[in-house]
Amino acid sequence: MFRRLALFTFLCVASAAAHAEVTIDGHIDPTEWAGAKRIVDFRDTQPKTGKPGSQPTEAWVLSTPKGLAVAIRVTQSADIPRSRQQARRDENALVDRINVMVDFDADGRVGYDFEVKSQGGVADEVITNESDFSYDWDGRWDHAVSEDAEGYSVEVLIPWYIAPMRKANGDTRTIGLYIDRVIGSTGERMAWPAVSFDNGRFLSNFQRVELPAYSQALFAVTPYLVGKVDRAHGGTSFEQGADIIWKPNGQTQLTATINPDFGQVESDDLVVNFSPEETFFTDKRPFFTENQGIFDFSLLDDYSQLVYTRRVGGASDDGRGAADISAAVKVNGSVGSTSYGILTAQEKGDAGRTFGAFRLSQNIGTQTFGMLATRVNHPYLDRDANVLGFDHRWQPNAAFSITSNVVGSKIDQPRADSSGLGATSIAFWEMNDVWSQQWLGMYFGRRLDIDDFGYLPRNDMEYLHWEVRQRVTGLPEDSAYTSHMWHYRISALDNTEGRVVHRRFRILRDSQRRDGGEEVWRLDAFTAAYDDLLTRGGNALHTPPTAKLTYERERPRIGRWAWEAEGFISGNQLTGYHRLGYYFKFTPTYFITDAFSVFAGASYEWDPNWLIWQHDNLVGAFDGRTVGIDSGVNWNLGNKQELRVKLQTLAVGAKLRRGLEITPTGGAVPSSEPVDDLGVANLGFQVRYRYEIAPLSNLYIVYNRGGYVDDTNDDVDAQFRRGFSLKDVNEGLVKVAYRLEF
């Protein structure tokens, strides 16, 4: 009887151990991880040799009712320096770290990166278009790190409600999974599976893993309150609103916001832009970053998108500053293998716009078909803008993929009706581990207009390029580099009237260095062509042959110093290689402690014969100087508090050389019309303290000051000094946002 009782007790204890709940504390308990999938085959992908990593790495993957649990054990020998640098959330710090990347539908469309640094800092990103990473999204997930003499251990728990996902097939779910670890002091990256994000295909090459299926529900409300004192215009104000998330299961997720707070504690980098192309800004506003991946519809041209969320709450149609937003709602979900997304937003007032977007995506074997429709109603302008796009991706085998789309726009506005078409297609062939090729073709009609809700740098273009890539590894041990990725590209761009806009040959070398940093050289050589955007629809300027050499370098922390450098030297679109222009920026960072650092960046640009459009076919040719400062303080008080001081200023002094009239044949002849000298002063200064009360719940105390002014003073030194006195914005605010989960 005693033996039977002892056996029963042993079986109960063993059963309990086999189903022990994983505690996320950074200590990998073998009992808790019993039955997990164990991964040991980590291979070098940076440099991408495919060889086993130089340091042992193990991972365990376990599906639990509370989420996807991943543990990683990192061994780091004593002769390899360890990172002690503290990092704030989403900081792109070159330190020891691990990444867990998950494609919950295993279809290669949208992935999520969960990064944990060895000192406990985190970052999370959304991955779209195979290898486009965006830090704008912040998710709710658990992590913990512990360190010992042999290395460090990381545990991560990713709730099943964190992202939209299709309904499981029975009792199991297949996900795409990728795990890596990076040694900060050398830049070595060891990954499972051995794929690299500098390939044409990354997300779709994640390892397919079948796991027990679970589903979680979430209802969360994040109310916020902002109190603001405006010293520039006087007065005190209070604003309140809330974000609401309801996820009854992985297949249906609803996000709503009422009187949202859009970015009062975030600051964009300063830009002085006199070019015809609009500056692109990312979006950190929580409502628009949550479950936004479904709406990704890239036109494959830089930042081009059919849904550019900065349009919502952007400049008002009546010209009275930024528009206020009443509410916005977003629904994401899936039915079978079809995913969908619905987005709508309403701005306040008589000039308030109504935005809407509807997205569908369907997987059929090796192909994916999608549709995105958007509509923007402008009551103030009596304008309706409708855009419809279809996209398609085909991956017939592991080496070849082709992505295409077709887009049409229709604008209804009195005396301004228009409709246009566009199409893009890109093919990528991974020939072997060394060589790959890419072909890209675009056509954007002259009347294509997606900018009411989307972003397109230019329309009226026909573009082709062919690029060959070469990966070089196995460099000598005494080399400063561990690998190079060479890009060789020829491209042609014409407008739809057949005018040559450019013919270009590009050589780019992207190098990983043995100090853990990165270096990029790029040479662009252009033939004679025409600039058809300078005069905003007027005559095109004939441009001579020219070239541009660009350099970028990032060196991680060694001792107490880290630094970044960038610059270029270029010919001129008016005089070619006569009177070259140049730009450089150097930003050193000094670490007083592992948590406290000071950076002080300075930049200078010389642009001779800088052409700035005035009106009609009149342009001014200026000798332009731009001086900038980008400096600040970062103090990371543990992983829950941070103090940031950020100072940016740009000063421009542009002395007129002459006014020019662009002729119908593309010539630039002297003009007697008056053109003034130009000067700009621009300032952005912010002091921001953040305290994380709980996950996705924060207290902010912020002081903002800045301004922008332009006039005819071409003295860059005077404009630089003037910038520090600007007070167009001079405010202090306190914001509290607390997430309540039910």
What is the per-residue pLDDT for 647? 97
Task: Tell me which amino acid residue 736 is.
Answer: V
Question: Would you state the structure tokens that stand for residue 632, as one six-digit string?
Answer: 């600040």
Work out the number of other CB atoms within 10 angstroms of the CB of residue 327.
16
pLDDT greater than 50 at residue 12: no
Query: Alpha helices of 595-733 — where are they, by DSSP H?
Result: 716-723
Contact between 733 and 702 (Cβ < 8 Å): yes
- Structure-token match 């509410």, residue found: 327
497 CB burial (10 A radius; 0-12, 13-18, 19+): exposed
Terminal-to-terminal C-alpha distance of the chain: 48
Return the pLDDT at 68. Answer: 97
Mean pLDDT of the residues in the chain: 93
The whole-number average pLDDT for the span 354-382 is 96
Which residues lie below 8 Å from residue 336, measured CB to CB, with a gap of 6+? 166, 167
**Residues paired with residue 131 on neighbouring β-strands, in sequence order:** none
Instruction: Return the amino acid letter for 555.
Output: R
What pLDDT does residue 260 have? Answer: 79
DSSP letter for each residue of 323-349:
PPEEEEEEEEEEETTEEEEEEEEEE-S
| Separation between Cα atoms, residue 411 and residue 421, nearest integer Å | 12
Instruction: Tell me: pLDDT of 3 over 90.
Output: no
Instruction: For each of the domains in the chain, give its residue range(s) and CATH number, in order of start.
Output: 23-212 (2.60.40.1190)
What pTM does this model have? 0.91
Cis peptide before 193 (omega within 30 of 0): yes
Give the H or E element holding residue 10. helix 2-18
Query: Residues 341, 356: contact at Cβ < 8 Å?
Result: no
pLDDT at 200: 80
Contact by Cβ (8 Å): 739, 220: yes
Neighbours of 336 (CB within 10 A): 10
Range 187-206 average pLDDT: 93
CA distance 465 to 434: 20
Q: Give the residue among 288, 227, 282, 281 at the shortest CA–CA distance from 257.
A: 288
pLDDT surpasses 90 at 105: yes
Quickly state the pLDDT bin for 264 (edges 50, 70, 90).
Answer: low
Per-position DSSP letters for 685-708, written without gaps between them:
EEEEEEEEEETTEEEEEEEEEEEE
SS3 53: coil
Region 145-155 average pLDDT: 96
20 confidence band (pLDDT: 50, 70, 90): low
Residue pLDDT, tens place only, 565-586:
999 999 999 999 989 999 999 9
